[in-house]
Amino acid sequence: MEKKPVKIVTIGGGSSYTPELMEGFIKRYDELPIREIWLVDIEDGKEKLEIVGAMAQRMWDASPYDVKVHLTLNRREALKDADFVTTQFRVGLLNARIKDERIPLSYGMLGQETNGAGGMFKALRTIPVILDIVEDMKELCPDAWLINFTNPSGMVTEAVMRYGKWDKVIGLCNVPVGAMMKEPQMIHKTLDELTYKFAGLNHFHWHKVFDNATGNDITQKIIDAIYDPDVDDGTPKNIFNVKFFKEQLDQMQMIPCGYHRYYYRQEEMLKHSLEEYHDVNVGTRGQQVKKTEAELFELYKDPNLNYKPEQLTKRGGTHYSDAACETIASIYANKNTHIVVSTRNNGAVPDLPADCTVEVSSFIGATGARAIAFGPLHPAQRGWLQCMKNMELCVEEAAVTGDYNLLLQAFTLNPQVMSGTTGKRIMDELLIAHKKYLPQFADKIAELEAEGITIKDDIARELTEQGL
């Protein structure tokens, strides 16, 4: 069987991650021959697109392969006959993230842009856009795969399946990659000596580890190593490095993901976030990333730079693009690679409905992700899991319907938000702050504005006033 070289389309192509993506494709060219790459962005992102697009072309020119990188603001032109569409766009750019984080923190609550208050609003902004993209794909590239790494990756992927009725979608996450890179060395093993089993939701999964020599569960060994003071436990860069209580891990015989800190060590995570928020020299994670990004784009402008610079690693979210490239190569070449992705449950996590989206160990091949049945969880994890999945379902439904009341329900259900007047106020301010990207809530936002609700946080308010 000879397969033809592929056309790749990247929505949000002006992202600072694009060089990593290019590096990943160049590295895998032998198993994933590429015909053409289209980087798509919107008018507001045109300058970045041109900088990073030129850089991307330089990277290919420095490689042995003859690949043309097309830059366009015309999404439909790009999508025509695409084989793989990757989505890494950020509706409202980093300014939206800064608001997502600062508005809750201005009231002493976590904003957390993936599954906290911020993440819920990121879903509200993103889901209508991705559903539009899916409608274009149905018309222009009905056989293409959608590889999503726009966060919150789980909710966005689920919305594509549930509301977009598009099954050829895989949601990616870099967090499992990080765990699998760091943990084996903690116990003096290599990754290929171990078997990893992940189950849960995006940014909310747990894993177990097995020794390939015996087939036995050795998760406890990893847990013990995590609490050995000399060992680096591989926490992603963008999460404050407080440790879980060992007692919890000993009980669960599983290892939570880094984002579980927001749930298992909420007090410390909040304290740390507030410290950063109140320190004008630091700022929230979004503000930090904004600086890093500006530096990156300065680097990318260098006409001699034709490889991914070291500094990108600081950005956080590294491995996302590599996971994307590996996923695409695994589909194309039917590699059956083990990758942890967001995909339809189909029973893999029997504690959740079969038709929802989960993030689980999967084998990725020609037919996409084949989720591995993990089996039931202990009530101590099941409670969290079911709580969060239902919260996600509410957010997705609210994103599609613009139902304010349902959004309030989701906010109340989300364990990162303390329910009450302040939580509701945070939600209202976020609605106002993101008005530009939330047409589905237009009427309610107008009502809130008429009630005189204003944004308390200065930076968030000013960004909003400037239409950013």
Smallest gap from Cβ 438 to a second copy, in A, equals: 17
Long-range contacts of 301-309 (CB under 8 A, 24+ apart): 301/51, 303/54, 303/58, 305/55, 305/58, 306/55, 306/58, 306/59, 306/61, 306/62, 307/19, 307/23, 307/59, 307/62, 308/19, 308/20, 308/22, 308/23, 308/59, 309/19
Subset of 340-369 contacting a second copy (CB under 8 A): 344-350, 354, 361, 363, 365-368
User: How far are the Cα atoms of 152, 322, 352, 368, 414 from residue 201, in angstroms, in the given order?
Assistant: 10, 20, 10, 18, 14
**CA-based angle 126:129:134, to the nearest 5?**
120
Does 306 carry a binding-site annotation?
no
Nearer of residues 136 and 447 to a second copy, judged by Cβ:
447
- Between residues 54 and 418, which has the closer beta carbon with respect to a second copy? 418
Of these, 30, 216, 230, 304, which contacts a second copy (CB under 8 A)?
Answer: 216
The only residue of 229, 421, 451, 466 in contact with a second copy, by rule CB under 8 A? 421
Q: For residue 376, how many other CB atoms are within 10 A of its CB?
A: 11
- The yes or no reply on residue 78 touching a second copy (CB under 8 A) is no
Spell out, one character per residue from 115 to 154, where the chain touches a second copy: x when CB under 8 A holds, - when not: ----------------------------x-x---------
Task: Give the residue with the Cβ less far from a second copy, 250 or 279.
Answer: 250
Between 9 and 252, CB nearer to a second copy? 252
Tokens of 212: 């390939």
264 is an active site residue: no
Distance of closest approach, residue 192 Cβ to a second copy, in angstroms: 8
Contacts with a second copy in 29-68 (CB under 8 A)?
none
Q: Which is nearer to a second copy, 290 or 456 (CB)?
A: 456
Q: Compute the least distance from the CB of residue 380 to a second copy, in Å.
A: 4
Please indicate if the annotation marks 203 as binding a ligand.
yes
CB of 431 to a second copy, least distance (A): 13
**Residue 299 interacting with a second copy (CB under 8 A):** no
Q: If binding is defined by CB under 8 A, does position 73 make contact with a second copy?
A: no
Q: Would you give the distance in Å from CA 174 to the centre of its chain? A: 8
- Residue 168 in the binding site for a second copy (CB under 8 A): yes
Provide the Cα torsion 194, 200, 206, 209; round to 10°. -20
Choose, by CB under 8 A, the member of 43, 247, 451, 465 that binds a second copy: 247
> Which letter, b or e, does each residue of 118-143 get, where b requires 16 or more Cβ atoms within 10 Å of its Cβ?
bbbbbbbbbbbbbbebbebbeebbee
Which of 70/425 has CB closer to a second copy?
A: 425
Q: Tell me: does residue 338 bind a second copy (CB under 8 A).
A: yes
Catalytic option among 17, 196, 259, 404: 259
Annotate 117-158 with three-state secondary structure: HHHHHHHHHHHHHHHHHHHHHHHHCCCCEEEECCCCHHHHHH
Whole-angstrom CA distances from 185 to 148, 174, 182, 250, 340 are 30, 18, 6, 20, 20
93-105 helix and 285-300 helix, angle to the nearest 10 degrees: 160
- Contacting residue, 30, 66, 188, 214, with a second copy by CB under 8 A: 214
Binding residues for Mn(2+): 173, 203
Binding residues: 97, 151, 173, 203
Catalytic residue positions, numbered: 259
Binding residues for substrate: 97, 151
